[in-house]
Each structure stands twice: as structure tokens, then as C-alpha cells.
Structure 1
Amino acid sequence: MKHGLSLAGLIWLALHPLPAKADPNSVATCYLPMTIPEVLRQADPQDGRIQIFSEQVQLIENQQADFSGSVQILQRDTLLQAPRARYRAAQQQLVAEGGIEYYNSDLYVSGRVFAADLANNSARLGDARYQFISQAGRGEARALTASAEQLSLEQALFTTCPQQDNSWGLFAEEISIQSDSGWGEARHAVFKIKDIPVFYLPYLTFPVDDQRKSGVLLPKVGSSQRVGLDLELPYYFNLAENYDLTLSPRYMSKRGTQLKSEFRYLTPQHQGQLQLEYLHRDNDKAADFGQRYLGHLSHRSDFTSRWRGYIDFTDVSDDTYLTELGSDYNNQSDTQLYREASLSYFGERVHSHLKVQGFEILGNYNTAYQALPQLSLSSARPLHLTENIQALWRGQYAHFRNADAFFTAADRIHVEPTIRLPLITPAFELTAETSLLYTYYQQQSEQQLNAEQQEISRTIPKVRLHARVNFEREYDWFGEPALQTFEPQVQYLYIPYRDQSLIGLYDTTRLQDDYYGLFRQNRFSGLDRINEANQLTLGWTTRFYDNIDNELFRFSLGQIFFLKEPELTNDPLTQDLVSTESMLASEMIWHWYRRWYVSSALQYDIDSKKLIKSNASLDYRGSENTLFQLNHRYSRAVSGVEIQQLGLFGAVPLQQNWQLIASYYRDVTNHRMIDANFGIQYESCCWAVRLVAKRQLRANLEANISNLNQLSRLDTGFSLQFVLKGFGDKAGFGVSDMLSNGIFNYRRPYLLTN
């Protein structure tokens, strides 16, 4: 029979491990959480009493207590188990011998002998082995000493590998952890792989909680024809709790040594990051080429719940910086750098947005206008003139500049009031609205302008009627109960013709003419062009849902019918618009069979009987590690060039822990490869390695757009990534991340709830 004993005034000292947090990236099959004893699961963490249970207890003159037989010493969420234990009151010493087992909510420790000096608040475990309760991580030490101030281990080992797996380990002559600082120190540390020493560090510091610490991060190794051997060694500076800095010297055997930096900051109202990259001299360029650099600033401010600020700015030294050196902050195929600074206000009645905006165009392309500044105002919510009639408005002022354009500067004022009558029920929607679009321009040029070119105004009325009906019925979907919807919609749009040939193109371009674009009120972004319209748009969508509302199938088809032939103009944005009986557009997404998906979209010119654009894909998602996608993309004219591409992505487990990943994109029109990646990856419970070979079409931004078909130079390279789980960052080691490293990223099947 067990006896319970509470010793008044006894101070229990437990080990002081810091909280162990579960790693969300750990492989589920690698580590099973330990089971803690039932007595500890039922213990009250707030109970400060020390309870000692044993089969036998012997008290000697109230100075010594000997416990034997399944001894359990319990306080709060800590438990010590041993065959026997002795407490000496005079020395305030507790000693346990035999097979010692110690538990708390985070840590399990076993040892040969346990001795606690209660007067000095210290404890010592001999021949200790430890294991985290809820995450991977274990080790051993010849001696483990704990006090209120620190935890010390002598001749210690740490690894995240499971039992009987010694793939890697960190051995140290001495490890000490300060409980108040959250940092540990290791002396004479040796890192081993399969018991083979790899490197030696006489002194090492490491975090044991969420605090950050300055130090060397894992290096990055790669190679390519553009830069040669590519070696990057980041060093992290923990400057303060809310800002830090990472400096990364980067050695490129063909280019030289580059310095990269990333500064991050975070306050309750502001957050952002500043990246700078600098190469003093490029060994692959002429001596007088000059210095090469990149600067990027991203900032957001939430001043109040209504006021917000935003900055996004990128600058490079030359047009070929990204294609030749690459960057973590921009894609190497980017042809422009976006720049914007904005201040927004979200009021109860008015929304406002003030911004300055510009683009740095890379390569042999026309420069773009800068908005310096642009102020947009709009009603925050509709104003109810009657119970059903609503009024809305928006307005904008913008000043544009472009020293290389015909119109070097322009001021634009736009006002657009709208009256709307919405009638909305669950089965039927009808919206009738009319707007008046007034725009005033004042334009400047280095050349002589006549009065009509200097000042021009445009007033255009607009009428829109839009109706949609929602039908649904129960349906048999290949033997399974399903719900089918049928959603026809019709839109009438009237916008009279106005001559806009004297107005410059400041922020306006053509929008995509997909199915949903058929129901837009304007086929252009910006305000410099408002398309003429006297047209009727018809379209319908049907969907199928299973009995738990998962969307199984969707098909949409629509067409615009012109009631009046649009005026012929010489405007570059409108002269090739599809006219009369116009364009047929459709989209389809089908959850075909189990994990198979089919999607497609096309735009077809009925008059010329020619395909304008199309894309299609076949996807299989067996699991997170099994992916397949075959896709095709066609466009009749992208900047005057026909595009037809075929892509293939795949990820297949070869056997346990091994993964094969590949992607391939081909230019069908010109019979050439554009982008290819091939990688093999090994991932175990405690470490992972990936080797990737890639071959990509090298962008040439200096080439004329008409000569794109002659571009054929390819760049070949490889990268090697090695991760020790629990001793480095596993971010970016997923299959989807691997397939996103090429020019063309893998895109998951979307728009279906699956």
C-alpha cells in the first residue's frame, strides 16, 4: 500500500527547461508525442504542495525520511519517479537512486542518480538522457545540473533525430542555458554526421525560446552560367526587439563579391523592410561599366483605423541587373519596376486615396507616365434618395509627366455621378443605373500644340441595365445526388461615341476579354479611353454541387451583340477590337474524377473564325507530395507576337523519404524549351537535402519585340539546399515551393471547393 506524505516548508526544485513548441513542419510519421504518467495528467498545475508517494517510508528522528518502492514525488506539473529516495532535513538534501525518471509538461529526463540541494536551489542528474514531450528533440549528458538561474550539461549531445537514428548530432563539452536571458552557450562544440566530425566551434550561442540572436545563418550554394559558382553566407544582427538586419556577402566566381542587406522593422503602427544589394565591380563587364546595385523599400503604416499609408519602391543600377545577377525581391524576367507612395482615408461618407506612382521600364520599351500626384475620391456608401434609388459618385485629379512622350505633362480632372436602382432577391437581381462621365484635360508638349490639344473636355452619358436569374434543381451526377444551378444574365450597355484621339494615353490599357470581362462597363483600365457601346451581352453559368456543397463542375458561356456598329478609329487601343457579333467567351472547371481536375477558358472571334486566346490544364493532386499538371496556353497577339506554350509540372515520391520533382515549359510556336527544372530530394525526420538542376531561356531586354523569336540563349545552373530540422529553417522545402522556382510557377487548381 502506498503512503502519501506532504512535507511542510519543503522547497521542490525541478529542472528548468524552456517551453518546447511543436514544429508545424515536422513529418507526422517521424515523431510520436510521449505519453506522460496518469498521475501527472491529473495533477493541478496550481497546487504548490509537494506530495511523495511510495510503497514504504521510514522516518528517522524527524531528520531523515527514506522512501522505497515505486517512489513518486509530485508538485504542480512536475513528477520524479525512482525506486528509492532519501530526504535529509539538516542538509536540506533530496537524493534518489536507481532508474530515475523526471517529467514535466515539456521534458522527459532519465538518469542514474538525482541529487537536489534545496538550500541552494540546485539539482544534479547523472548519466542523463532527455527527450522533449511534444516535439522532436533528444540528447544525453554525463551530468545535468539545474538551478534557478541556469541549466548546465556536461559532455552533452543534442539531435532532432528519433531514437536509434544518429544521422546528425551536436556534441559539446559543456552547454549552459541562462533561464533569464533565453540564450544558451556551448563550448568546444563538434557537429557530426553519422559520427563523422564535420566542423568544430570553440564557442557557440543559440536561442532556446522565441528570442532572436545575432549569428551566422545557413549558407546558400549554387551555380549557373551567368554567375558561375554562387556562394552566399548570411549573418544576422538582432539589433532590437522590433528591428533587425541581415548582411549576406555573396561570392560569384564570374562576377565578383556582392554585399546584400535586409533591414526589417515593426512597430504597433508601422512595418516594413529595406533591401540593398551592391556590387562594386562586375568582373564580367567592361572596366568602365560602373557599380551595380538594387534598392527596394516596402512600408505600411496604419495610423488609425481610418488612415493608412503605403510605400513600394524598387530601383536598379541598369536594365540587365535582374536578368544577370538575380534578386530575392524581383523576378529575373520582370520588365518593369513598380513605384508607389500612397495615403488613404476610409471615412463614413467619403473614401480618399492620394498617391504618387511610376514605373521604371527595363529594356528596349517606351517609358511610362508618372502620376505626380493622383487624388481619388468616392462615396463610402450609397446615398438613398428614396427607398430604392441610390446615388453614388467618384472623382479624380491626376498630374502626369513623361519627358520622352509627345505630351510631356498633363492634368486630368474626372467627375462621375451615378444614379442606381437595385432590385435584389435570392432568385432574381436587376440593376438599372445611369452615369455622367465628365473629364477635363490640360496637356503640354515640347512641340507646338493647338488650342484643342492643349485643353480638351469630354462628357459622356452611360446607361446600364443588368439582370440575373438563379435557378436550381436536384440532379443525378453520375449516380450521386447533386444540386444544379442555372444562372443566365443579360446586360444592356449604352455609351455614345466621342472622339478621343486628341487625348494622350496616360494610365490606360486594354483589359482581358474573358467571360467576366464581357460584363464590364469599360474595356480599358484608367480614364483616358471610354469605349463606345450600344450592345447587348448574353451569358449563362451552370454549376453542380455535391451533397456537402463542394463545387463539382462549372461552365460559363457569353457573347456580346453590337446593336450599332462601333465607329472606326486609328486609336492603337481600339483599332483591333473585335466588332459585330463580336467575341464568344467561355470558361470551364471540372472536378473530373476523385483527385483529377480539368479547367479551360477561351475567347473566339466568330467573324474571322479565329481563336483569340485559350488556356487549358489537367491537374492531379494525389497528396501534398504527389502533383501533376499539364497545361497549354495560346494567345494570337501579345505585343504583336503569337504565343503558344505547353507546360508540364510533376512531383512523385520514389520511395520512402525520396522525392522526384520536375517542370518543363516549351515554346510550341518556335520549337524551343523555355524553362526546365529537375530536382531530387531526400527528407527524413531530422534532416533534408535537395539538389536542383535548371535550364532557362535567358531574357534579353535590349532586343526588339519583333525579334523575340530569335532569342535562343539558355542559362544552366544548379542549387544545393541542406537542412537540419530543429537546427535551421525548413521554410521553402515543400514540393509546391520547389515547383515555384522557375519562370512559370505551379498553380493549384482553383475556383472549386476541394
Structure 2
Amino acid sequence: MALRKSVLRQHIRRTLCPSQSPWILALGMLAAQPITPLFAAESHTEWSCRPAANNAGWNCLEKIVPGPAYKRPAHSTGKRTNAVAAAAVAKPRNLPAAQVDWIDESLLTPEQLETLAPGCCGVYLAPMRDDAEATMDPEQAPMRADANSSEWVQESKAILKGDVRLIQGYRQLEADQATLDQNANTALLEGNIRLREPGLLLTGSRAEMNIETGASRIDNASYLVHEGGIRGDSEAISLAPDKVFTLEGGTFTRCEPDSNTWYLRGSEIKIDPNTQQGTGKHVRLNVKGIPVFYTPYIRFPAGPDRQSGFLFPSISASDSDGIDVAVPYYFNLAPNYDLTLTPRYIGDRGEMLEAELRHLSKSFSTRVSGAYLADDDGGSEDRQDLVDDGTLTEAEAFPYRGEDRWVFAVDQIGGMQSRWYSKIDYTTVSDVDYFRDLNNASLQVNSATHLRKLGELGYRSDNWLYQIRAEEFETLSTTSQKQYKQLPRVNINGNYRLPGDLVLKLNNEYVNFDHPEKDARAVITGERARLDYGLTWDKQWLWGFFKPSAMVKSLHYQLDDEYLNSDANDAPSFTAAQGSLDSGLFFEREGTFSGNRYLQTFEPRLFYFYSEQENQDDLINVVGTSGDVDFDTDELTFSYNQLFRDTRFSGGDRIDDDNRLTVGLTSRIIDPDNGIERFSASLGQIFYFEDRGITITESLEDALADDDNQRSDSEFAAQLSAQLGDYWRFRTDITWDARNSDKVSLGSASLRYQDDEFRLLNLSYRYNRRDPLLSDPYDIDNDGDMTDEIAQTIEQGDVSFSWPLFGNWSAVGRANYDFTHNRELETLFGVEYNDCCYRVRLAARKWLDNELINSVQNLDLEEDRGIFLEFQLKGLGSLGNKISGILNDGIYGYEEREETLK
């Protein structure tokens, strides 16, 4: 220390000479000062230097300052109070940036472990600073310095040697040696350099820095951007004053420090932490050191925020379409709206373009998307074999060759935070096979069997809901019957909670039904008005409930008479009074089982329903001999939940006639400590006091003569569910007929396992007994007998799973079997590897090929086989996405797992 004090005195004398830099002076004095402990006295001394008059050097005074001295940065030999800081300090100074701040999961706190990304074994964390200047702008903060020794050279240079540490505000610098040039206002740093700013760490062997602006150049460098885990190395890194740094011959990756499974290497890569955006020139993508992709220019995200630029391409291949390449370009137009354009090439079909525009405002959320393929090449030539052997015609094998194919969709929700609201859900396609032939590469549009086209506007008041909508469904099948359009539907529904636990409901509806085929065939169209009014005494106690209701339902039509029979009524009208009584009791008892407390309930329930029998024959056979008024109505599937409804129909084209009593029994076992329902079992049956005469397709007379409508009781319906432990769940629904040898009519059962780590196992079975259907009722075989019956009963089993194996490996699979026809519907098995850097899936699949389902019978569909590979580079994109869609559709809970693993 005596050496340091003598050097300090020399520095003070030299400060009287002109042209001395205050920055260098302060640096030299700070480097020579002894360490002041945190618990020092209430005051300490500091040097204060100001320019002298007439540019005559500097005036420096030692003054007393209140409070303890500045806490100096600790050396590597000092003590650290947290595991993160200790881990960083203990590492050698010559390590690249990523290894310096990489903290193994064994050192993380429980709170930090919860934020650990799936597949990762650590995180990047910078040592925390708790001093008063830790968040100050360097331009507003004093320079703090420390070193093992210091000296002046030629009166304009200060040399600090040995464990050099410089701190100015939030900026920190470490090196083996620092040479500070007062005349050039620069610093030359040599040996094991670390430059640290919030969210950024740079290391290297040699660096030149402008002291005033902070601009620097570091040779043999490496870098780490903590947010997003971005790292890499470079021959040299240039750091601009605005923190933008440029790599010369550098790399970019998001892999863990010891992994370079994939990385981008470019002649020049620029990363802007301010905008969290990166660009590169002459960039190659290397996977396992092998170049697999090149682009002369690329823009990529350098953080979680959205940025304009090319997204990583999606690449896949299949037998039906050949190679499929999509290269999205993302336009970050504004904070609340953006656009993605995706040029796409499909080898056996041609070029297409996909586009998606998103907009978000205070009141609206809107998504507009579409895709267009001009002059479809027709698909794989493998189908030509079916043409050559006469199985298919050319038109059946390649139905869309030469056709333009497209999809358009609008999805909007409006009226958020307002009584007014709106909704648009509109999707349309060029043909029924669009989604089967052309899976979207980047669009999120509805691809169900029926495409919805809905526009809705409404207003919510305290007691009324006013709603107007236009709706139709586009059918994606050549065999399914097209559905009616509702142009428009108007609902005005009132709901009042009156004194004395009275509930008044006033539901009013008007609908105009149109049909897309009304000009091609005899289709019934027209208008319907329906009024459903009811008053209920909703009385509830802790031990039960009692809900008597009185209702009146009225139905009015104005039918278009273009195709009506001459004797048909074009304005039928019906009104019926109804009444119901819903009541139940709750019994409870406590008990113990294997030392565990439980609460058991017993809940009997009675539901009586009466509705007048209003003859509705004016809706039967109004066109020809089988044209019935049925715009939106069907009979509900019988199950336990349907026992307590006040109608057996869905839709509004019929008013029930009924006089029945439902008896239901439910028992539950509840965990009293947390309220979780561990077990529930329900059983019920309906007892009819009168025959039913209202159906959808039969006249009153014919319906009353039907044996099914003359039954005095229904089938039994049961429901059972259980939560076995914390992760197993079992559920079954079943109906059986005691009058038909207790045969099961409808049944389903499922056993599911899902834990906190998203281990998934699903076993399910479903059965639906149906009457057999003759393949052709007018066809007679050589023996004079009718042709064979086609089984209509559905009996299927399904097993699916996603399960970790070891390390970062997991297995996925599904087996779906049709017991009715003794055939496999789908079999799939695959493996997945997932870590911080990349994710890869490999799956083998066998399935029924339904691409020709409109050309051949269902039972004649052939099996298809394939092997699929999907490779996802974390932070860039994925090669192929077909496996993801298959697994999301086929494995219950898998989509939720995917959202969690993102």
C-alpha cells in the first residue's frame, strides 16, 4: 500500500500541469485508494476536480463527504452472498460470455426453477448489483476503478494492471490490463476482457474503447444477450454508443453453452438490443456443423418482441404433394396490427401465396387471412395407376387439375368493455377438398367439416339481450346434406330476477330460413317466429331446492308456397302451455377410509314435466310425401344429462307433448380439505304417463302408433366419474334397455392420466348400437335373399400417450381401432427429443387414406403409410409441421402440452 500512496502523491503534483484529463486523474486516484469498509464512519473523503480558470489545468481538492464510502466491486477472492454471483465469479476469466453467466439448475432457487424452460438444464443470469449507481446512466455517473497496481506514462497515459475493474453507472469492465490515453480519450484493454451492460455481456482478448461515447471494438470476442438466450462469437465485435453491436464473421444461436447443434454464421451480423432485432449478410444455417441453408440477407428476432423480417421457412415432403416449402415474411406495421405474407411452393401442385392480417384495438380484435393457388397441377401422379387399371376416371383421380383453389377467412370479436358487441366468424373455400389437399402452412382458420359464416351484432342491458345475426354453414362433403341459412335471426330475450325468488324469462325469436339449393330442387323455405315465456320460483336451501315453473310456448310460420302441396298450410301456428317441477335434496355424512377423511353426499332428484299435446301435422309432408318443416331441429341423444331437460328436441321447429316424471339419484365423495370431487355416480330413468305424438317426421296418428312412443318408461341412463389420486381421471356414460335383455344402447368410457409434467395417457372406448342398413334394399342375390346388411353400429377403441423416456427423450403414440369392421383406423408411434436448443420428432404412421373418400366406398379405402420428421430450431422455426397437427388432433391434452412447452 505504501507504493500506491507514493504513486498517488506523484499524480496529484502532476495534476497542476494543464491538459490533464479529469477522467484519467480520477481513475488514477481511485485505483490507489485503500478499500473502505461498508461500516465506515458517517463521513469519508473524496477528491473533487474542476477545470481551472483560463484553461490552466485542474483544481483538485480533497473534501469530506457525508455517509459511508462507495462500496468497491468485490474481487474474485471476496465473498458473495448468492449462488448466482458466486458461480459467475468462480469461473475462469478466459471463458466465453455464455459460459460466464450460465447457471446450472442445481444452483437455482425454487422460484427460478419454475421459470426454467422445458428441456433446459440451466439459465443465463447476470450477477446482481445492489449499489446506488447500479441503474445510473454512465454519462451521469462517476467512474470507479480498481486494480492491483497503476502508473503514469509520458504524463498522458495511465496504466492499470492486474484484475482491473472499472464501473461507471450500469456499465462494468474487467481486464488484465488497461491503458488510458488522455490525449486520444481512449482506452486500450488487454487480456480476459469482460464488458457488461444490462442484459448484455461481451468478452474478448483485446479491446479499444472511446471513453467519451462508449464505442468499442473487441477482438476474438463472444457475446451473450440474456433475454432470449442469444449468444455467439466473432472475429471482432464493434459496439456502437447506442448498444448496437456488429459481428465480423460471427455466429448466432440460442443453444446452451456446450451445444452448437444449430447456429447462423454470416459475414456480418448486426444485433440491436434496443429493438430486439437482428440482421445478417451472407448467412448460412449450420446443423451439426453442416451447412443446410443459405440466404444473402436475413432479418431475425433478437428477443421476444415482434420484428419485421423473414421468418424461418417451413419445409416438408409427402407422397401426395411432394416437397412443400413456405417462407413467411412478417411485417410489424404498428404495435397493434401486423401482416404476414407467405410465398409457398408445393412440388406436385404449384405456387401459392398465404396472407394474414391481424389488428387489435380497445374494442375490436380482428384477423383476416387467405390463401390462393393458381392452376393446381393436380397432386401426386401415383393415382395414375388407379386410372390405368380402370378403378378411377381421370376426373376422379385429379378432380382439381387446372383449377384455382383458395381460402378466405375473417375472425373478429368486437364490443369488448362495452354493452354493444359484435362477432364475425366467416370462412369459405374454393372446394370441399381444400383442407384435405392443402394444409395451411401459416394460417389459423377453421378446417372443420362445416365452415361457419356468421355475423352477429348485439346489445346487453341489465335485463335484456338484443341480438341479430346472419349465419350459414358451408358443407365440406359431397354426401352431406346442405344446411339452411339464417338470414337473419333476431333474438330479444328478457331475464328478470323478481322479489320472492321469482325468475321471469321472456324469449322472443324471429328467423328467416333460406337454402342454397332452393332453385335446384323442392326445398321448404320461410320465416319462423317463436315465443318462450316462463315464470319460475327458484327456491334453494343448503339442504335442497324446489323450482316449480309455468311456461307457454308459441310457434308461428310463414312458408314460401313455391313448392308446397296444394293442401298445405303456408302459415301454421301452434301454442302450448307447459309446467314443470324440479326438486332435490342433499344429504351428507362424514367418514374415513384408510385414515383419510371424506364427505359423502346422497342427492335424490325428481323432475316432473307436462306439456299440452298440440297437433303439429301442418309441419309434416308439406312438400311431396316426405317434405317436412325441419329448419334446425333434431332429436337429442338420450343420456343422463338429457333426463332433466324440458324438451327432447334441439332447435325450435317443434313444441313437445309430454307428461313424465324423471327420477335421478346421485352420490358424490368429496375431499373436505380442498373440495375436490373424488367420485360421482348418477343413475336415472323417465316414467311416461301418456304416449308421445310429436316427432320430426311422423304425423300425430303415426307417432302415437309407434311402439317407442308408447313406452311407459325410458332406458336407464347412468354416469360415473372418478378422480383417482391427483392425476388419474375416469369417466363413463352408458344407457341400457331393461326391456331388451338389458342391452347397451350407447356407451363410452375414458381413463386419462395427466400430471404436472404433462405425462399423458388416454384410453377410451365408445359404443353406439344402431339398426343395420341394407347395402341396396332393392338388390336380391342369386338365392333370392336380400343383400347383406351393412353394420351401422359403432364400436371403437383408442389408446394414445405422450410419455418421457429418459433425459430429454419422450415417446408419443396412438392406436385407433374399429371393432365393428375389424380394421385399424390409425396407428402411430414416434419419439421426440427436446432441449433448450432444438426439438426433433420422428414418427411412423399407418392410417386410412381418405383423399379418395368422395370417389370410393368407405370400406374400400386403402391404408397409407408414412414416416414423418419434424425439426424445430428454438428461436428460428421448424422444418415441417404435419406431426404437430396429427398429435394435437389424436392425443387428448397434447395441444395444452404444446402451449406449455413453447
Q: TM-score range by the shorter chain?
A: 0.7 to 0.9
User: Could you tell me the percent identity over the aligned residues?
Assistant: 24
Structure 2 residue 309 is matched with structure 1 residue 214: yes
SS in 1 for 2:524: strand
Aligned counterparts, 1:522-561, within 5 A = 522-546=647-671, 547-561=673-687
Report the aligned-residue RMSD: 3.7
Say whether the 8 Å CA contact 2:235–2:250 is kept in structure 1. Answer: yes
Answer with 429-438 or 317-326: which moved more.
317-326
Q: 1:373 aligns with which of 462, 485, 488?
A: 488
Deviations 1:384-403 (A, max 9, x none): 2x433332211011111221
Say whether the 8 Å CA contact 2:312–2:876 is kept in structure 1. Answer: no
Structure-2 separation of matches of 1:194 and 1:215:
23
Indicate the residue corresponding to 1:643 in structure 2.
794
Indicate the residue corresponding to 1:45 in structure 2.
135
Structure-1 separation of matches of 2:894 and 2:226:
38
Structure 2 residue 560 is matched with structure 1 residue 412: no
Unaligned runs of 5+ in 1: 11-16
Answer with 212-221 or 338-347: which moved more.
212-221
Q: Which amino acid aligns with 2:693?
A: E
TM-score for both structures, normalised by structure 2: 0.73
Q: 1:223 aligns with which of 309, 318, 330?
A: 318
Say whether the 8 Å CA contact 2:427–2:446 is kept in structure 1. Answer: no
Shift of 1:76: 4.0
Indicate the residue corresponding to 1:352 in structure 2.
466
Indicate the residue corresponding to 1:13 in structure 2.
none
Structure-1 separation of matches of 2:592 and 2:191:
70
Structure-1 separation of matches of 2:668 and 2:857:
41
Q: 1:296 aligns with which of 402, 405, 409?
A: 409
Higher strand share: 1
Aligned counterparts, 1:219-258, within 5 A = 219-224=314-319, 227-238=320-331, 240-241=333-334, 242-253=337-348, 255-258=349-352
Aligned counterparts, 1:127-526, within 5 A = 127-133=220-226, 135-149=228-242, 150-178=244-272, 182-209=276-303, 210-224=305-319, 227-238=320-331, 240-241=333-334, 242-253=337-348, 255-270=349-364, 271-283=366-378, 285=398, 290-302=403-415, 305-327=418-440, 334-361=448-475, 362-379=477-494, 381-384=495-498, 386-402=499-515, 403=518, 406-449=522-565, 453-503=569-619, 504-526=629-651
Structure-2 separation of matches of 1:6 and 1:678:
73
Deviations 1:208-227 (A, max 9, x none): 34132232532230314xx2
Structure 2 residue 815 is matched with structure 1 residue 667: no
Indicate the residue corresponding to 1:596 in structure 2.
728
Structure-2 separation of matches of 1:441 and 1:639:
36
Shift of 1:196: 2.6
Structure-1 separation of matches of 2:528 and 2:324:
51
Unaligned runs of 5+ in 2: 1-33, 37-44, 52-97, 103-111, 379-396, 620-628, 774-791, 898-902
SS in 2 for 1:447: coil
Length, aligned pairs only: 731
Structure-1 separation of matches of 2:338 and 2:113:
24
Shift of 1:489: 2.1
Structure-1 separation of matches of 2:50 and 2:455:
65
Shift of 1:427: 3.0
Structure 1 residues 501 and 624 mapped into 2: Cα distance closer, same or farther (>3 Å)? farther
Higher CA-based Rg: 2
Deviations 1:276-318 (A, max 9, x none): 3434234352688743333333233227611222222222333
Shift of 1:82: 3.1
Say whether the 8 Å CA contact 1:2–1:56 is kept in structure 2. Answer: no
Structure 1 residues 477 and 23 mapped into 2: Cα distance closer, same or farther (>3 Å)? closer
Structure 1 residues 478 and 6 mapped into 2: Cα distance closer, same or farther (>3 Å)? farther
SS in 1 for 2:653: coil
Deviations 1:331-380 (A, max 9, x none): 87x5432221111211223211111111223222332211111101111x
Shift of 1:616: 0.8
Say whether the 8 Å CA contact 2:796–2:820 is kept in structure 1. Answer: yes
Shift of 1:251: 0.9
Shift of 1:434: 1.0
Structure 1 residues 55 and 728 mapped into 2: Cα distance closer, same or farther (>3 Å)? same
Indicate the residue corresponding to 2:832 in structure 1.
681
Answer with 42-51 or 154-163: which moved more.
42-51
Say whether the 8 Å CA contact 1:238–1:245 is kept in structure 2. Answer: yes
SS in 1 for 2:693: coil
Q: Which amino acid aligns with 1:278?
A: L
Q: Which amino acid aligns with 1:613?
A: L
Q: 2:206 aligns with which of 113, 136, 139?
A: 113
Q: 1:634 aligns with which of 759, 767, 791?
A: 767
Structure 1 residues 81 and 471 mapped into 2: Cα distance closer, same or farther (>3 Å)? farther
Indicate the residue corresponding to 2:888 in structure 1.
740
Structure-2 separation of matches of 1:491 and 1:269:
44
Say whether the 8 Å CA contact 1:312–1:340 is kept in structure 2. Answer: yes
SS in 2 for 1:637: coil
Structure-1 separation of matches of 2:872 and 2:710:
54
Deviations 1:241-274 (A, max 9, x none): 2130322423142x44444443433343331222
Structure-2 separation of matches of 1:676 and 1:172:
43
Q: Which protein has greater RCO, CA pairs closer than 8 Å, 6+ apart?
A: 1
Shift of 1:64: 5.4
Structure-2 separation of matches of 1:535 and 1:474:
35
Say whether the 8 Å CA contact 1:263–1:275 is kept in structure 2. Answer: no
Structure 1 residues 710 and 162 mapped into 2: Cα distance closer, same or farther (>3 Å)? closer
Say whether the 8 Å CA contact 1:407–1:443 is kept in structure 2. Answer: no
Structure-1 separation of matches of 2:565 and 2:868:
57
Shift of 1:153: 1.9
Structure-2 separation of matches of 1:145 and 1:638:
78
Deviations 1:168-216 (A, max 9, x none): 2222222223566653332232322233333333333223341322325
Indicate the residue corresponding to 2:178 in structure 1.
85
Structure 1 residues 126 and 329 mapped into 2: Cα distance closer, same or farther (>3 Å)? closer
Indicate the residue corresponding to 2:393 in structure 1.
none
Structure 1 residues 37 and 331 mapped into 2: Cα distance closer, same or farther (>3 Å)? closer
SS in 2 for 1:631: strand
Structure-2 separation of matches of 1:29 and 1:290:
46
Say whether the 8 Å CA contact 1:92–1:117 is kept in structure 2. Answer: yes
Structure-1 separation of matches of 2:634 and 2:694:
18
Deviations 1:27-53 (A, max 9, x none): 445242345445458864247423414
TM-score for both structures, normalised by structure 1: 0.87
Say whether the 8 Å CA contact 2:119–2:834 is kept in structure 1. Answer: no
Structure 1 residues 188 and 430 mapped into 2: Cα distance closer, same or farther (>3 Å)? same
Structure 1 residues 293 and 201 mapped into 2: Cα distance closer, same or farther (>3 Å)? closer
Deviations 1:462-502 (A, max 9, x none): 11211233333322244322222333322111112122232
Higher helix share: 2
Deviations 1:106-147 (A, max 9, x none): 233322234321334412223222234465332122222212
Answer with 524-533 or 52-61: which moved more.
52-61
Structure-2 separation of matches of 1:657 and 1:52:
46
Structure-1 separation of matches of 2:894 and 2:160:
65
Q: Which amino acid aligns with 1:274?
A: S
Q: 2:146 aligns with which of 33, 37, 54?
A: 54
Shift of 1:451: 6.7
Shift of 1:505: 0.8
